A and B are shown apart, each in its own frame.
Chain A
Amino acid sequence: MNDRFALSLVLNAHQSFVRFRDTEKKLEDGRLFQSITETYLPLLRVFERLDADRVPFRIALSISPLLCDQLRDPERKSRYVAYLDRRIEFGGWEVERTQAEAPMHRLAKMYYDQMVDDRIQFVERYEGDILRAFDFFHKKGRLELLTTGATYPFLPFYTSYPEVIQAQMEMALITHRSVFGRNPQGFWLPELGWSEGLDEFLRAYSFSYTIVESHGLVFGHPTPSLGTFAPIKTKSSVAVFGRDFYATKDLLDTEYGYVKDPVYRSPSRDVAFELPAQNMAVLLQAEGVRNPSGFKYWNNQTELRDPQKSLYDVDGATKRVQEHAKMFLDNRLERLRAAKELTSQADLSLCAFDVDLFGRQWFEGPQFIEALFREAARREAVYFVTPLEYLNKKELWTLQTSTPEFSSWKEDGYAQTWLDSTNDWMYRHLLRSIDRMIELAERFPDGAGLKERALNQAAREILLAQDALWASNSASPREAAISRRCVEEFLHNFTNIYESLGSNYISTEWLTDLERRHGFFPEMNYRVFKKKR
Chain B
Amino acid sequence: MDELRLTRSYLETLSTGDLAQLAERLGLDIPSDLNRIFVIEELLETDTEIDRALIPEDNELAVLPADGDAKLHLPDRYNATFIEVLLRDPAWVFTFWEIRSQDRDFYEGAPDFGGYHLRLSSLDALPLREGKSSPDSFIISVEPTDSAWYLSFPSSQGLFKVELCVLKGKNEIVLAVSPPLRVPMNVSALSVLNSQDDSPQTKILNLSGWDDFHVLRTVDHVSRLPQRCE
A-side residues, CB < 8 A to B, are 21, 156-157, 159-160, 195-196, 214-215, 217-219, 223, 225-229, 242, 245-246, 249, 268-269, 273-277, 284, 287-290, 302-303, 305, 335, 338-339, 342-343, 346, 405-407, 411-416, 419-421, 424, 427-429, 431-432, 435, 476-478, 481, 485, 488-489, 491-492, 495
Contacts and interface: CB of A to CB of B under 8 A. Distances in A.
Given A228-B209, A290-B15, 16 more contacts: A215-B187, A218-B205, A229-B207, A246-B209, A273-B36, A290-B13, A342-B200, A406-B182, A415-B88, A416-B216, A424-B96, A428-B148, A429-B74, A432-B78, A478-B40, A491-B74
9 contacts: A225-B201, A249-B209, A277-B13, A287-B13, A289-B13, A428-B78, A428-B84, A428-B96, A435-B80
Contacts of B67: 481, 485
A218 B209 contact: yes
B70 to A, nearest CB: 10
A382 to B, nearest CB: 17
A495 B74 contact: yes
A413 B216 contact: yes
A407 B214 CA distance: 11
A290 B40 CA distance: 12
A428 B87 CA distance: 14
Contact of A488 (B72, B182, B214): B72
A468 to B, nearest CB: 13
B8 interface: yes
Contacts of A159: 179
A421 B229 contact: yes
A112 to B, nearest CB: 21
A227 B205 contact: yes
Contact of B87 (A195, A229, A274, A412): A195
Nearest to A342: B200
Given A290-B13, A492-B73, A477 B44 contact: yes
B209 A276 contact: no
B78 A227 contact: no
A273 B16 contact: yes
A156 to B, nearest CB: 7
A427 B74 contact: no
Contacts of B12: 287-290
A416 B89 contact: yes
B15 A414 contact: no
Contacts of B33: 302-303
Contacts of A405: 184-185
B96 A218 contact: no
Contact of B72 (A274, A290, A492): A492
A411 B213 CA distance: 10
Given A339-B207, A419-B94, A245 B89 contact: no
Contact of B214 (A21, A305, A413): A413
Contact of A215 (B179, B182, B207, B213): B213
B126 interface: no
Contacts of A275: 15
A427 B148 CA distance: 11
Pick from B35, B190, B207 the residue with the most CB of A within 10 Å: B207
Interface in B155-208: 179, 182, 184-185, 187, 190, 200-201, 203-205, 207-208
A412 B45 CA distance: 27
Counting from the closest, the 8 A-B pairs by CB-CB distance are: A303-B33, A413-B215, A245-B209, A227-B208, A414-B89, A160-B179, A288-B13, A342-B200
A287 B12 CA distance: 9
